[in-house]
Structure 1
Amino acid sequence: MKVMEIIKLGEKLKYEMRHSWLSNGRQESVAEHTWRVSLMAMLLEPYLKQKVDASRLLKMIIIHDLVEADAGDIPAFDTMDNVKVKEQKALNEIKSIEKIRDTLGNSLGEELYHLWFEFENKETYEAKVANALDKLEAQIQHNEADIATWIDIEHRMSFMMDRYVAFDQNLQLFKDIIEEEAMEKLTAAGIDADRIKKEVLSSS
């Protein structure tokens, strides 16, 4: 049964690790990240500026990360200033979603295929929400982890979430709470968070 093949593919996300650590010191899996992004979608949906198709939003969040079962997870900071890595990541993920579509070989496969591209293109309101929650969850997880697990670029990335939430006032407020937590964590570790934030804002 083709559906079972995709379900078994999803098991790989339980051991595909992200560049994030949990509050207990264990590294985070992609599946754990996806689960909490889905939880955030469910809890924040009533507060969004516009009404969303909650089912489509959740499907988009889940299918977005499923490609990493084949393509692997590449941290955002590895693609920020490296066009070649960014292009290769995109190619790998497109091959993966095409494989998922072709494995199912029916209307469900086509639906998941189009939902993945909808997320990537960020053109619909649901896609913008899904992208924003994906980025916000990553920062929440960093805030919960030991500061020793952060690398320098992640200090700056704590203040680079504005562009993902600019379309929705309530998501902006939620981002501000997450950013304030990051600032407090950095400051407690003796890192000049105010200076970093000013540098990020001045360069954006």
Structure 2
Amino acid sequence: MHSVELLQQLDFIKEIDKIKYIQRRTKLFGSDRNENDAEHSWHLAMMTIVLAEHSNEPIDVLKVVKMVLIHDIVEIDAGDTFIYDENKDHSNTDEERAAANRIFGLLPKKQSEELIGIWEEFEAGKTQEAKFARAMDRLEPLLQNASNNGGTWKEFDVSYNKVYEKKQVIEDGSTIIWDLAKGIINDSVEKGILSKD
């Protein structure tokens, strides 16, 4: 006979498979195929492992990996909000809170509380781990759009100022990576794949 906790964990594991179906606006590097949330989260976890040394302060890498792997699970219920959406705020919403409670609530109480706490920490963006996780979350689509001749910037007529404003969060996690990101943004303007207007 299996424990109740194991069955709860398996229910959660089955439920989060749905994240593979959540399509993002950004496309894979050098591709015309949209990325899904599972691919995005995996990529951020790898970026965290590889780039952690560039954090402004020492970080708990495992905690950041947990953050980036779970941060978009709420989109199973709440859907993906495009970062440049003019009509819907990209900040924590009531829908995301309800999704976090439902999905993480499938787990045994202790694990549920841990993952909700990590998700809340990411959303608040106050700790160094959250700042670095958010830097990774903003860096990946920047690299994708630069590799795709402007990608969603061109597709949705996103301006330099809007990109700069949204990507500046990177600086809170890593000034070194922010310097690199600024260079990519400016190069994108020079190449004509990001509008300065």
Instruction: Give the alignment's TM-score, normalised by structure 1.
Output: 0.81
- Flag the 1:3–1:50 CA change in 2: closer, same or farther, 3 A: same
User: Quick check: which one's helix share is greater?
Assistant: 1
2:94 to 91, 114, 119: 91
> Number of residues paired by the alignment?
188
Give 5+ residue unaligned stretches, structure 2. 1-6
2:169 equivalent in structure 1: 164
- Flag the 1:88–1:141 CA change in 2: closer, same or farther, 3 A: closer
Identity of aligned residues (%): 28
Q: CA deviation at 1:32?
A: 1.4
The two structures, once aligned, show a CA RMSD in angstroms of 2.4
Verify: 1:126 aligned to 2:107, yes or no.
no
In structure 1, how many angstroms separate the alpha carbons of the residues matched to 2:61 and 2:193? 41
1:14 equivalent in structure 2: 20
Verify: 1:36 aligned to 2:43, yes or no.
yes
Verify: 1:138 aligned to 2:141, yes or no.
yes
Q: CA deviation at 1:7?
A: 1.7
In structure 1, how many angstroms separate the alpha carbons of the residues matched to 2:54 and 2:179? 15
Instruction: Give the alignment's TM-score, normalised by structure 2.
Output: 0.83
- Flag the 1:149–1:165 CA change in 2: closer, same or farther, 3 A: closer
- Listed one character per residue, the Cα deviations across residues 103-125 of structure 1 (whole Å, up to 9, x for unaligned) are 11320111001111111111211
Q: CA deviation at 1:186?
A: 3.4
- Flag the 1:162–1:17 CA change in 2: closer, same or farther, 3 A: closer
Give 5+ residue unaligned stretches, structure 1. 197-204
Other structure's SS at 1:69 match: helix
Q: How does 1:28-107 map to 2 (within 5 A)?
A: 28-78=35-85, 81-82=86-87, 85-86=88-89, 90-107=93-110
In structure 1, how many angstroms separate the alpha carbons of the residues matched to 2:79 and 2:114? 22
1:178 equivalent in structure 2: 181
Q: CA deviation at 1:188?
A: 2.2
1:199 equivalent in structure 2: none
